[in-house]
A and B are shown apart, each in its own frame.
Chain A
Amino acid sequence: MPAKLNYTDNLKDYLRIDPTIESDVVRELSAHIEDRSHELIESGLPEEEAKAKAAQLLGSPRLVARQMYEVYSQGSWRQAIFAALPHFLVAVLFALRCWQNTFWLLGILGAIICFAIYGWCHGKPAWLFPWLGYCLTPVIAVGILLIYLPGSWAWFAAAAYIPLALVVIFSVTKQTIKRDWLFASLMLLPIPIVLGWILALGVGSRLPWLEQLYEVAPLISLSFAVLAITVVTFIRVRQRWAKVGILFVIETIVVAIVALGDRNAIGFGGWLLLALLASLLLLIPALLDRKIREAEEKSVELSHKSPS
């Protein structure tokens, strides 16, 4: 049944909603095509033509998918606040200057790991991805801190660690892209911010590290509070284009806050590189998504062409 298969395949390409709802929608529209083509066959159309006509009468799969996405893309306030919670906790951590409080740190770390595992195993809901991002952030942070190892140890450690870290980040990102590439962008959102702050504090060696941290703590807190608000807005907005726009605009604002905080320690070039990295981290999931879909389409085409 090529017409039906093509229509539902096209629909799936654009849907990007919860997999359980997606399967219901696809099943429902397949049933509709079945009913309509049955009616058309009874009115005298040949079977193949009837199926093609039935799919055509449903209208553009892209439009149906977009309307369906807008029905399900808006999370509740509870989901939005829960999704923003990790950024908010980090903002409070720096606002209250309690990053040396073991109880706070272990509490946040425990919550991040527990909620990330729970969400990953329970259908990857929208609130999961900011939590998941924080599971990846230590992987990046450790990689950067290796630079400060004495002598040539830094190079050896970095050479071993960076490929490993990239494999971990890539495989988690790839899994997330299968759900929706926008969630992968949301997940990677704090990475340039954490990177920026670590570099800013490391490069600016006017004061001891801890004193610098005390000095810029309000700005660090502000940057994570802005991220928290971004996540709430992202979850509450329905339109896809608006979600993409919010991520771009806010990431730029937060990178500007990092630049303000380091008193030009990383310089304009460093800031520009950071802004570029932030944009790349937002765009790479979209490009990877396209590549993955193209590869899947090719493999489906090949399987159709190969003799059975």
Chain B
Amino acid sequence: MNYERELLKGSTDSLLLCLINHQPMYGYQIIKELEKRSNGYFQFKEGTLYPALHRLEKAGFIQGKWQRLPGGQERRYYYITAKGEKALAERLVVWQDFSTAVALIMQPATG
């Protein structure tokens, strides 16, 4: 259980950058999208999402903007910045190399 939490903790920023890169989103929408795309595997502790988003914003990877929804409510949408795109591209390369290496060791050899 702890191992799973640590894995998620280490990947949170990359997951958020990846989702926001796909399309600008607001907090609640991000939580729903994470659940949907991971078939319910990623269930964020809702309150901890916002500090993570603000940390990314402070680092200059994303930018928050208040926008009005068709219903009249305002939501803070997060947009990826050029710095964020660059960081995401670097992280994706690292992740792909890492997951390939882990798979080579952990999966039983076939054939």
Residues of A participating in the B interface, judged by any CB pair closer than 8 Å: 24-25, 27-29, 31-32, 34-36, 57-61, 63-64, 67-68, 70-72
21 A-B pairs in the complex with CB atoms less than 8 angstroms apart:
A27-B66, A27-B74, A27-B76, A28-B27, A29-B47, A31-B76, A32-B27, A32-B28, A35-B28, A36-B46, A57-B46, A59-B45, A59-B48, A63-B48, A64-B47, A64-B50, A67-B51, A71-B51, A71-B54, A71-B55, A72-B54
Q: Which residues of A contact B28 (CB under 8 A)?
A: 31-32, 35-36
Q: In this assembly, does B58 line the interface, its C-beta being within 8 Å of a C-beta of chain A?
A: yes
Which DSSP category, helix, strand, loop or mixed, fits chain B's interface?
helix
Q: In this assembly, does B91 line the interface, its C-beta being within 8 Å of a C-beta of chain A?
A: no
Partner of A31, one of B26, B48, B58: B26
Q: Which residues of B contact A61 (CB under 8 A)?
A: 47
Nearest Cβ in chain B — how far from A57, in angstroms? Answer: 5
Closest A-B pairs by Cβ, 10 of them:
A59-B47, A67-B51, A64-B47, A35-B28, A58-B47, A71-B54, A71-B55, A58-B46, A28-B76, A68-B51
Among residues of B, the one whose C-beta sits closest to the C-beta of A36 is: B28
Verify A29–B50 contact, CB threshold 8 A. Answer: yes
Complex: how many Å from CA A36 to CA B58? 26
Q: Which residues of A contact B73 (CB under 8 A)?
A: 31, 34
Verify A72–B48 contact, CB threshold 8 A. Answer: no
Among residues of A, the one whose C-beta sits closest to the C-beta of B74 is: A31
Nearest Cβ in chain A — how far from B61, in angstroms? Answer: 13
The interface bits of chain B over 42-73 (1 if a CB of A lies within 8 angstroms of the residue's CB, else 0) are 00011110110011001000001010000001
Verify B76–A64 contact, CB threshold 8 A. Answer: no
Verify A32–B46 contact, CB threshold 8 A. Answer: yes
Q: Which residues of A contact B27 (CB under 8 A)?
A: 28, 31-32
Q: Which residues of A contact B26 (CB under 8 A)?
A: 28, 31
Verify A31–B75 contact, CB threshold 8 A. Answer: yes
Besides the known contacts A31-B26, A36-B46, A68-B51, 20 further A-B residue pairs in the complex with CB atoms under 8 A apart: A24-B76, A25-B54, A27-B74, A27-B76, A28-B50, A29-B47, A31-B28, A31-B74, A31-B75, A32-B46, A35-B28, A36-B28, A57-B46, A59-B46, A60-B47, A63-B47, A63-B48, A64-B47, A64-B50, A71-B54
